[in-house]
Amino acid sequence: MAKDTFFHKKVTLNAGGKLIDLSSPKVMGIINLTPDSFYAGSRKPAVDEALQQAGKMLDEGATFLDIGAYSSRPGATDISIAEETDRLLPVVEAVVTTFPNAVLSVDTFRAQVAEAAVKAGAYIINDISGGQLDADMFATIARLQVPYILMHMKGNPQNMNQLAQYDDVFTEVLDYFVCKYQQLKQLGIHDVIIDPGFGFAKKPEHSYALMNRLQEFDIFGLPMLAGVSRKRMIYGLLGTTAAEALNGTTVLNTISLMKGAHILRVHDVKEAVEAVKIYETVVNSGKTF
């Protein structure tokens, strides 16, 4: 087997008292409540549309649903906390009521929104800024005691493209995780998932350099999330569009699994679940004979 193939050790995540075994990789489906997310197919701003999408993703095998009400695409329009909350909470409440066993993650960098979402029934907070855009986020997560997705980004969605400059992108992202995880541990936050932040303040060459060394982030012994779905690093390289980037997404998702990703965050759940099934069959076949 290739030297960079990763065998998943026992990793569990406590989401609202539900212990989720991540030694078998899981899929997180993306539901965007924004009118301007970069991939038009993911935009589900109405409650009934979001519910329909949630049901479809759960039927297709998603373990997690990641609901976001603030567009984080490069150059996205900034919106108020009130507008983000008004978009988000009706959908969280509807999903919790309709699918009580669903494990909801909320994509927000605002502590106030995170707290409201958890009170409404969300289990996980997915923060693209790693606490950098809201000084209260880490303390809020510590108080709520919910799993926290720690992503690497520089700046904010409005200016991150201008900050995509690195001497050594892997070392900088690694050092960032060392610093941030130490802060989280000191606050008593135990369920941390790391996300290198593909495409966030990163040119395609930066994202591919991180993918090449993805397995080295296992030094933390933490679950790792890979979010490459339909991103510019794929369609820019291939000269296509986000709408045409499913095949490239599946390729990168498979590489992510081989390099140790525990969670695939995707727009297309069925295809990602199939990738996990094939990957696990290959890995487990070596244990049979």
Please write the tens of the pLDDT for every residue from 103-154. 999 999 999 999 999 999 999 999 999 999 999 999 999 999 999 999 999 8
155 domain residue, yes or no: yes
249 domain residue, yes or no: yes
162 domain residue, yes or no: yes
Token reading at 227: 């979010």
Please determine, for residue 166, whether its predicted confidence score (pLDDT) is greater than 70: yes
Residue 263: alpha-carbon gap to chain centroid: 8
User: What is each CA distance from 274 to 59, 165, 169, 183, 206, in whole angstroms?
Assistant: 13, 35, 31, 37, 28
207 against 289, higher pLDDT: 207
CB contact burial 77-96 (16+ within 10 A = b; e otherwise): eeeeeeebbebbbbbbebbb
User: What is each CA distance from 145 to 110, 259, 272, in whole angstroms?
Assistant: 16, 29, 29
Please write the tens of the pLDDT for every residue from 53-66. 999 999 999 999 99
Please determine, for residue 288, whether its predicted confidence score (pLDDT) is greater than 60: no
Please write the tens of the pLDDT for every residue from 6-31. 445 568 899 988 899 999 999 999 99
5 domain residue, yes or no: no
66 domain residue, yes or no: no
Residue 28: alpha-carbon gap to chain centroid: 7
In terms of Cα–Cα distance, which of 57, 50, 109, 58 is closest to 84? Answer: 109
Structural domains of the chain, count? 1
Instruction: List the domain range (segments joined by +) for residue 180.
Output: 12-60+72-230+239-283
pLDDT score, position 278: 97
39 domain residue, yes or no: yes
Cα–Cα distance measured from residue 162 to residue 203, given in angstroms and rounded to the nearest whole number: 10
- Catalytic positions, written as ranges: 231, 265
255 against 49, higher pLDDT: 255
The CATH number of whichever domain residue 261 belongs to comes to: 3.20.20.20
* Residue 276 contacts residue 264 (beta carbons within 8 Å): yes
2 domain residue, yes or no: no
Please determine, for residue 80, whether its predicted confidence score (pLDDT) is greater than 50: yes
* Residue 69 contacts residue 84 (beta carbons within 8 Å): yes
Task: Give, to the nearest 10 degrees, the angle between helix 204-212 and helix 169-186.
Answer: 70
7 domain residue, yes or no: no
